[in-house]
Structure 1
Amino acid sequence: MPDNSDCKIATADALTLLLHNQHALSAAIEEITKWLSENGVGSVAANAMSAMETLDTNAQAITDSIMRIRQS
């Protein structure tokens, strides 16, 4: 059974990968939002912006968690 530090490293590494995925999703939503705005679908673009705000908020919380795990 791995020791506690190995588990913390694995957890932090997994969270880091999830954070990278979250950034990629945010970038994709941003591109779609831009296209929607340029093509007159403002209400859908506004909904996409709300989703991006949630991703940004959660990304910061994930980053903070990763830092706490890595420092412990």
Structure 2
Amino acid sequence: MSAALIAGDRSQAALAQLARSRMRGKISALEEAFTGHHAFLLGKMLKRIDAIDADIAEPDAEIEEISAPL
């Protein structure tokens, strides 16, 4: 569901139908939950994760460069 939402799918019914196992019993609640606000928040969280990944990648590259001769 998150991947579809991130990819731009905004159809509440289609997103809710992607639910699995116990969540299938909560389709109507899921449909209500998939609003623009939730998509906005998820986008913000993913941007933060990307920033953290970039913060980690920079020192990793430095460590690899320094340790290459070893």
Q: TM-score, normalised on structure 1?
A: 0.48
Which has the higher Rg, Structure 1 or Structure 2? 2
More helix by share: 1
Q: TM-score, normalised on structure 2?
A: 0.49
User: Per chain length, whose mean CA-contact separation is higher, i.e. which structure has more relative contact order (CA < 8 Å, sep 6+)?
Assistant: 1
